[in-house]
């Protein structure tokens, strides 16, 4: 645990008692504060009371008069589509609102940090797609290089549940827009922006608000070095705002599919090869086609981001290449779950929208595609560039028939459930083909979450293959 000591002796309200809320309460209490907790869910309140915390409704004027700070869990909206009533009460009372990410950065530098020969560094990763894989890959590369490193945030542990870092350690944080939009302190040493596609628009009041939440990671504290994906206009805008001159190497521009040039620092992937250029000279190159855990152009962008971040931390190109070759990928994200008879079975259950499913389709050549679920707005037309890679689609979900109607020009079999889809796809698959779960839809019509859907796919593959 990382204690939060700068609120010692003061009452702090905690709104929302999921992982981050309870973690913040424990860290504040360990630092001498008096946390007062609330959640609309009675089960969550009962869990907090069982730990000995004070639980009180926080929305009244009296409650607001007693607290010096309100800490809000990331799932609770503070502005759009409308402010939570407790947050609105805090505004009215002039009580500052923060979250666990803000508390984490406020806690940095206290305690033993002043005595370290090499103060710990923080790498923070944000973006629409790929931030989990990028964060995990950075962590893996550093771990393989023998560096003390921890992974937290929107992946793994809560930030305040981390062990106090040791001399020379690195903390890798994955930050969602929900986390970065409200944190009052954001001061990473290295900040990474992967890409931007439309998501969470109701929560942020549109695409501009969503980008603004991501941009705060670079604007609030000013990282020592920024790694920026420049394949979208927002990334190019952000890179331009950070650099003070064309050769400013505080900025590392990255791309998947575009050769970057200029006097600055660039890392790009093209035709399966990652290349680093700095001050007009090629520094390093990696054949990503040999990295089984990072298939497809979208993962090559993740590789560029992780390479750039770890280079900025002082690792050499060959160290990074060796570590990438041992990266197995994350569960449910282009995860190879089996190979049999020349057929590869890939679980990309995290591809819950059309954009991420398209990237998965473009990563493989001949696909038996397991897809479908709870459809999202916008239809399936954006999948068209990837459908040429699909030999046949096997559609699951309660809306399977409707989903199939959106796949014009593609051979389709309506299977409804995962067991039948995997059976049929495995039976039809020929050597050299990939049986791919990339649903392009939410999981909630049949599963609690995308993880459960991916686990079912893996289990059905194992059953069909007799493993």
State how far Cα 238 lies from the chain centre.
19
Copy the structure tokens of residue 341. Answer: 């008879």
> What DSSP letter does each residue of 376-445 carry, written as one string?
PTT-SGGGHHHHTTEEEEEEESTTHHHHHHT-TTS-EEEEESHHHHHHHHHHH--TT-EEEE--SSBSTT
Q: If you ran DSSP here, which 8-state letter would residue 370 be given?
A: E
Helix (H) or strand (E) holding 34: strand 34-38
Any known ligand binding at 127? yes
Q: Is 452 annotated as a binding residue?
A: no
- The Cα 89–Cα 87 span in angstroms is 5
Tell whether residue 128 is among the known ligand binding residues. yes
Q: Is 180 annotated as a binding residue?
A: no
The response to whether 334 counts as a known ligand-binding position is no
443 labeled part of a ligand binding site: no
Alpha carbon 162 to chain centroid, angstroms: 18
Give the three-state DSSP class for 86: helix
Separation between Cα atoms, residue 232 and residue 196, nearest integer Å: 7
Q: Is 326 annotated as a binding residue?
A: no
- Long-range CB contacts (< 8 A, 24+ apart) of 212-215? 212/181, 213/177, 213/178, 213/180, 213/181, 214/126, 214/127, 214/177, 214/180
SS3 335: strand
* E strand intervals along 187-280: 190-193, 225-229, 251-256, 265-270, 273-278
Binding-site residues, please?
Answer: 127-133
Binding-site residues for ATP, please?
Answer: 127-133
């Amino acid at each position: 645990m990382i204690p939060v000591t700068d609120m010692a002796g003061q009452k702090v309200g905690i709104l929302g008692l999921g992982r981050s809320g309870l973690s913040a309460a424990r860290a504040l209490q360990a630092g001498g504060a008096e946390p007062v907790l609330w959640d609309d869910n009675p089960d969550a309140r009962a869990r907090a009371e069982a730990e000995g915390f004070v639980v009180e409704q926080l929305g009244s004027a009296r409650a607001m008069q007693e607290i010096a700070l309100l800490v809000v869990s990331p799932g609770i909206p503070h502005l759009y589509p409308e402010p939570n009533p407790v947050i609105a009460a805090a505004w009215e009372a002039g009580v500052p609102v923060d979250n666990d990410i803000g508390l984490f950065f406020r806690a940095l530098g206290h305690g033993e940090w002043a005595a370290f020969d090499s103060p710990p560094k923080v790498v923070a990763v944000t973006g629409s797609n790929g931030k989990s894989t990028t964060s995990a890959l950075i962590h893996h590369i550093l771990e393989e290089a023998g560096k003390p490193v921890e992974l937290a945030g929107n992946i793994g542990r809560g930030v305040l549940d981390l062990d106090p870092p040791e001399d020379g350690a690195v903390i890798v944080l994955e930050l969602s827009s929900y986390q970065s939009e409200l944190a009052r302190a954001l001061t990473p040493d290295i900040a990474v922006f992967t890409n931007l596609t439309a998501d969470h628009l109701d929560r942020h009041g549109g695409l501009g608000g969503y980008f603004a939440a991501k941009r705060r990671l670079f604007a609030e504290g000013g990282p020592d070095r920024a790694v920026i994906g420049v394949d979208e206009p927002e990334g190019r805008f952000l890179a331009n705002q950070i650099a003070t001159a064309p050769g400013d190497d505080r900025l590392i521009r990255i791309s998947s599919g575009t050769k970057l040039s200029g006097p600055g620092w660039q890392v790009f992937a093209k035709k399966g090869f990652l290349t680093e250029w700095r001050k007009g000279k090629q520094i390093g190159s990696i054949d990503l086609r040999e990295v089984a855990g990072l298939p497809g152009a979208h993962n090559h962008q993740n590789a560029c981001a992780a390479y750039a971040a770890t280079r900025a931390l002082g690792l050499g190109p060959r160290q990074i290449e060796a570590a990438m070759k041992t990266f197995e990928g994350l569960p449910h994200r282009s995860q190879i779950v089996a190979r049999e008879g020349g057929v590869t079975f890939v679980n990309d259950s995290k591809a819950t929208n059309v954009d991420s499913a398209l990237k998965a389709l473009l990563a493989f050549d001949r696909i038996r595609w397991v897809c479908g679920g709870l459809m999202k707005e916008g239809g399936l037309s954006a999948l068209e560039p990837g459908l040429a890679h699909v030999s046949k689609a096997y559609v699951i979900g309660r809306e399977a028939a409707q989903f199939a109607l959106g796949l014009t020009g593609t051979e389709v079999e309506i299977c409804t459930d995962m067991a039948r889809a995997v059976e049929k796809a495995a039976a039809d698959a020929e050597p050299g083909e990939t049986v791919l779960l990339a649903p392009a839809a939410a999981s909630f019509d049949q599963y609690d979450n995308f993880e459960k859907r991916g686990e079912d796919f893996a289990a059905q593959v194992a059953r069909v293959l007799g493993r």
